[in-house]
Amino acid sequence: MNDGPASDAAQVDPEDRQVDPEALKALAHPLRVELFDRLAMYGPATASSLAKGLGETSGATSYHLRQLARHGFIEEDAGRGTARERWWRIAKGGLQLSAEHLEGDAAAREAGDLVTRQWLDLRARHADAFVRRGLAELGTPWVEASMLSTAPATLTAEELEEVNRELLSTLTALVDRYRDREAPEGARPVMFQVNGFPLVDAPGQA
């Protein structure tokens, strides 16, 4: 269920797509990453509604949506579309980005770095907005139901791979309970962030 780049270690869904270097280079545009993120977070939308939410022109969002569709990241939601305006949605399955597929391709590595950094920035912005405005705008029940936590550990690369795989598998199974249903009254989009990575600048480590 990944909606952003991840390693092969976390791959649990056979429908997940391994992003090839050419598609990755096409995604590596700030507005395209943000369009993909909004479709992943909030569901199908039109170019004009996305433009309004991002402060862009509908011409710009239309162009970049077509490029995302060309490379298989999104698809037209024909059931919602009209003759005047198309709706877009995330293509089925998650995305997987493997480091080994970027070896020997400097442009692909640069694109991968850009996409990953922007994804992390978007995730941080979502978390920051919740911390700053959640209580005032959403109320105590939503804040009490939320969690920001860490669980430090000292692991080998193989153990880290195993933990990340099990975390993603468990999170996917839990969230899948609530997919493909009519949202009940009072429901709103939520985000789960599960990060597992080594601390590069840890003191005392070679």
pLDDT in tens, the chain (206 residues): 344 443 333 334 556 778 888 999 999 999 999 999 999 999 999 999 999 999 999 999 999 999 999 999 999 998 887 767 899 999 987 787 777 777 778 988 999 999 999 999 999 999 999 999 999 999 999 999 999 988 999 999 999 999 999 999 999 999 999 988 999 999 999 999 888 888 777 777 66
Judge residue 41's burial from the number of C-beta atoms within 10 Å of its C-beta, 0-12 exposed, 13-18 middle, 19 or more buried.
Answer: middle
Judge residue 48's burial from the number of C-beta atoms within 10 Å of its C-beta, 0-12 exposed, 13-18 middle, 19 or more buried.
Answer: middle
pLDDT at 1: 31
pLDDT at 144: 96
Residue pair 24/4 in contact by the 8 Å Cβ criterion:
no
The CATH number of 8-176 is which of 1.10.10.10, 3.10.560.10, 3.40.1160.10, 2.60.40.10? 1.10.10.10
Q: Could you tell me which residues come within 8 angstroms of residue 68 by beta carbon, excluding any fewer than 6 positions away?
A: 26, 27, 32, 35, 36, 74, 88
Q: Could you tell me which residues come within 8 angstroms of residue 163 by beta carbon, excluding any fewer than 6 positions away?
A: 153, 155, 196
Residue pair 77/87 in contact by the 8 Å Cβ criterion:
yes
pLDDT at 15: 61
List the domain boundaries for the chain.
Answer: 8-176
**Long-range pairs of 102-111 with CB within 8 A, sequence gap ≥ 24:** 102/21, 102/24, 105/21, 107/21, 107/25, 108/21, 108/24, 108/25, 110/28, 111/21, 111/24, 111/25, 111/27, 111/28
